[in-house]
Structure 1
Amino acid sequence: MPQKTLDIKLANILADPSCRDFILADAKDADMAFGLAGPGKNPQMQGDASRFRTLSEYRQLIRENVQQGLVDIMLMSASTNEVLTLNENLFAHSHVTPAIRANDTTDVWLASGSSYAQQPARPFRSATIDHAMCGKVHCDPSERHRGADLGLYSVTFNNDLELDHQTLNAYNAFRIEAETKGFRHFLEVFDPNAPVHPVADIPRYLNDMIVRLLAGVVGKGRPIFLKIPYHGPAAMEALAGYDRNLVVGILGGSTGTTFDAFNQLYEAKKYGARVALYGRMINHSEHQLTFIKHLRALADDQLQPIEAVKSYHGELSKLGITPYRELEVDLQPTSRGSSYKSGSGKPGDKTPRSYQSHSTTKSKAPDFKNMTQAEKNQWNLDRWNRVLG
């Protein structure tokens, strides 16, 4: 079995604070949040809101992205991990590390018509560690290597004593079980999804909660890295510079322009991040393998954001793929969300993106007969973002 690039890069980063290694993950766990919409909508479909990719199509994209070999981690639901890791041995001869979403807190229960995400998050776990590692409820020690030995554990604090106490107790129980069974984890910390008491400074609150929490965690019980919203240079520098043994990563957030995706990675790395987990940005791209190729070039300091966007458009043209946006538009920054249930704010809006409200206004049905293919693509992309973003 080839050595995993995740392990190599983590060792390098921890050994040398100036190391430029960067860990890239494809987050293909959206079936644990959105349900039918999780695999994503085919943007070529015209006005059919119910036509999403099938689970088989979603898993085929995972196979292709793993075989490309440019990501370091593939994050999946436990059920997809069973199919691809345990049954197909997809990762046996790959340097990509399989990982599962180890818990699904209520703020990622995003069934159509639901209101769970508007209520303060509560801890919950569908997946079990043993099922991730060997596919059954109790693993023999000799079986634990067969599946995934890495999971994402997510917490959401809402500035409420009782709720946050429950969240921390659940995480404590998970850590103890994980360490006992040789299961590693990385920690995702979302912005408050429905704060019970106001929080004046979300980035500072998030950083303080992370540092306070991890101060009481030692050794193999600690997460191997963090996954947090990117709140800009100051917040990233403060957390990344606090403890050189704490590897900080960012989550991609909702889909915006290609420049948004590329510049966020570039800027986050500049100010201390060493990991990026991109889910919707990859899954909603025109061509996932080409998009990942450019993310990797950015992560490895081979391209800058603007030239990466131009290069991406150039490669799409060579593939005969019509981009969702004209190049001039795709080079522009937009205001996006960084939580699962993220809204779309106006440029310059200082409100934390995860709190911005969704428009409930239904747009008039477009006239597809008089639209260009690019206009059809853009209409479907916008609709897709409203459903998944």
Structure 2
Amino acid sequence: MQKNPLSATFKLGFLGAGQLARMSGLQAFRYGIQIGVFSDRDENEPVQFMTPHATTGSYDSVDDLTNFARNCDVLTLENEFIDSAILRAAQEQSGTNIFPSPDTFSLIENKLIEKQTFEDAGLAVTPYKLIEEESDLTTFGEKHGWPYVLKSSKGGYDGYGNETVSDIDEAIVAYENLGGHSGRDIVAEAFVDFTHELAVQVARNETGHVVYPCCETVQENHICVGVKSPAPVSKSIQEKAQQMAVTATEAINGKGIFAYEFFLTPDGELLLNESAPRPHNSGHYTIEGCITSQFENHVRAVMGLPLGSPKLRAPAVAMINLLGTDERDAQIDNALEGLRNTDGHLHVYGKLDSRPGRKMAHYTLLGDEMESTYKKAQQLTDAIRI
């Protein structure tokens, strides 16, 4: 008999121990349940300070994952750095359900499969090609134009695993750097001329689904530095992005929280760029900005609980990512102005070490008008050093 998910002895396990699991774990604690965490890193990570049920092992080891799963009632994902076959074996051997399921994850577990899955569902995606030999680098550039982007099919994030190439010489070097000659699948993607980068989160389980507002992500050097919700685009574009996100979630029969990133082109076309089977940086604003955050709905979704409302609490919600500024032990300096604001909210992730460009915290500000709220959030966080 399945244990009551609101039992004090129910344990929700996270595969991954970073800030996404930490923020979901905080919501699990609200329901009085326990959390377990599995990490493949030796150093202490944000969630490991929150629970005595912390395990270190390898994502490539079925035995490690199975042993961890046997001590949990449900497992869920914080990242995609794992293979669906290993997830499936761990689920079968432990008898513990994993959500998103291994079958769902297998449809989006790398950038090539992901594109094929969503194309098959009738969704427009960025033009792409698997690079099987160096001559494909030239062929893709001739067909789709230079520059274009080369991506490692598995494991890329925040600019890691991606390289923009402007000619064949750069493409050959990038292909080598990304592991193309070492057996890693490398995918070429056309460089899309876009006006906005948009994102939508969807929570779904057997009780139904909810769709978060379409937001805009502000990018610098392949890293999201801020989010505006709702996105400053037409209502019809917002609704189209939301519908595409629902279609994508249904195509993979997803149970959990999912995020989708889109390009909006100058002629008004929406292209699905990437997905994530977990909470996403673009949805951090939902903690204070929405009635039910992406993290609370993550927990609810994988535990089979009814989902909460994703509606905004204010006309405008701005989120600023706070990146590391110094190579040092992590500490927050010059945050007083942001803390004095009546509807500004600082979240620090608990990482021990800071380095330039590393995501260390975020700041959310609620307001009445988007551009002024975002500008004020920038001003309040501009002097912060981490």
TM-score with structure 2 setting the length? 0.31
Q: Structure with the greater relative contact order (CA < 8 A, sep ≥ 6): 1 or 2?
A: 1
Structure whose residues are more often helix by fraction? 1
TM-score with structure 1 setting the length? 0.31
